[in-house]
Structures are given as structure tokens and as C-alpha cells.
Amino acid sequence: MRLRSSLVAALALVVTLPTSANAATGQFVFTYERDGKSIEGKLYDPRARFCINLDEVAKPGTTPAHSPRNRTNSRVTVYPEIECEGEGFGLKAHSGKAGPDVKFRSVLFNQ
């Protein structure tokens, strides 16, 4: 009986652990250029506390992303270089946004 009680308690603990502790919830939207066209990129429920290089603009010779719109529940910082290098620009959670003058290649969600 003791083993069964321990198993039930352990299972209850696992079920109640938050699953979003390592991710921001929501959408991060940005614009990048490809072949003379503006394209909208999106990150869905991005990983938090981890530098994310934007594949669309990380390669040498590509122009940086711009016009970020933060629709996640986490503050985000955008960086002009890959690996979150350079001077970051912060955007508040849920409604932070910036115009085309904010250029970036990587992001870090602070949740």
C-alpha cells in the first residue's frame, strides 16, 4: 500500500508541474526581405532564456529582420547579430513592437 501511495503522489507532482516554464506563450512576428519581397516570419511559443537565431536572416549576405511585434507573454530582446550579440532592443510582453529601423538577427525571450 505504501508503494501505491508513493506512486500516486509522484504522479500528482508530475501532472502539476508547469509545462510552459521553458517557453513563452504566443507569437513573435517579424519581417524580412527575400528576392525583393517583404515576408512575414513567425515564432510560435518560442523557447525562453535561450538565444534564438532567426534562420531566415542568420546567413552572411542576408539583410536583417525588422519590424518586430511581440505577441507572447514574455518580454523579448532583439539583437542585431547572431548569438544575441550587439546592443539589444527590448519589447514588452503582449504588445511590444518596433518599426523598420530596428534590425535584428537573433532574439531572447526573458520568461
pLDDT digits (tens, 9 = 90+) for 5-48: 544 444 444 444 454 468 999 999 999 999 999 999 999 999 99
pLDDT digits (tens, 9 = 90+) for 38-87: 999 999 999 999 999 999 999 999 999 999 999 999 999 999 999 999 99
What's the whole-model pTM score?
A: 0.80
pLDDT value at 1 more than 90? no
Instruction: Please name the residues in contact with 32: beta carbons below 8 A apart, sequence gap of 6 or more.
Output: 38, 39, 41, 54, 56, 57, 62, 63, 64, 65, 66
- List own/partner pairs for 84-91 with CB under 8 A and 24 or more apart: 84/51, 84/108
Task: Say what the pLDDT of residue 21 is.
Answer: 63
